[in-house]
Amino acid sequence: MLQLLLINKVRVLLGLIFVLLLAMVRAYEDQLFYDPFLNYFKSDFNALPLPTYNTLQLIAGLLFRYGLNTALSLALIYVLFKDIAMIKFATFLYVFFFIILIVAFFAVIYCCGAHNNLMLFYVRRFLIQPIFVILFIPAFYYQKLHK
């Protein structure tokens, strides 16, 4: 096992760098992205009304953050598996899920308002956190084992 790590030390180092970059996106989220829901969900949001926001800036901020997380996640998947077909499939899934999630996010805001904060919290969580990479890596590994 140790010999395998030494042979693949560049891949391991690159993988760690991409994980560190994903962590830095989270660490500097306040400075990098427009998201009035950051502070809202850090407080007792069940007792508060929704924050005021600029819709276009919010969409752009969510798109930028999702895109940054997606690019880093795809790079991590590529470093781990070195399979372009897998990257194409993951890219399709990321785009598909973004469309579904952004529509769901604004549907919850406009239809439910402050009455369904927990649903809004979880939909937003999938948009701003690299949760899909946590799901895709084991799935792609399992697929690769059974090929």
Residues of the chain with pLDDT > 90, as a percent, come to 64
CB atoms within 10 A of CB 9: 9
Structure tokens at 71: 């690019």
What does the alpha-carbon distance between residue 70 and residue 77 come to, in Å, rounded to a whole number?
Answer: 10
Quote the domain boundaries for residue 50. 2-145
Q: Report whether pLDDT(1) > 70.
A: no
Query: Which carries the bigger pLDDT value, residue 124 or residue 115?
Result: 124
Label residue 84 by pLDDT band (50, 70, 90): very high
What does the alpha-carbon distance between residue 92 and residue 120 come to, in Å, rounded to a whole number?
Answer: 24
What does the alpha-carbon distance between residue 131 and residue 147 come to, in Å, rounded to a whole number?
Answer: 25
- pTM over 0.85? The answer is yes
What is the predicted pLDDT for the residue at 80? 92
What is the predicted pLDDT for the residue at 3? 73
**CA dist 90 to 73, 106, 122, 132, 133, Å?**
9, 24, 21, 9, 9
What is the predicted pLDDT for the residue at 142? 94
Q: Which whole number is the average pLDDT over 126-144?
A: 94
Q: How many domains does the chain have?
A: 1
**Helix axes 55-81 and 131-145, enclosed angle (nearest 10):** 30
Q: Which whole number is the average pLDDT over 23-51?
A: 86
Which residue's structure tokens are 């999702």?
66
DSSP class of 8:
T
What does the alpha-carbon distance between residue 94 and residue 67 come to, in Å, rounded to a whole number?
Answer: 9
**Strand boundaries in the chain, DSSP class E:** none
Question: Is residue 132 classed exposed, middle or buried when 0-12, 13-18 and 19+ CB atoms within 10 A define those classes?
Answer: buried
What does the alpha-carbon distance between residue 34 and residue 56 come to, in Å, rounded to a whole number?
Answer: 10
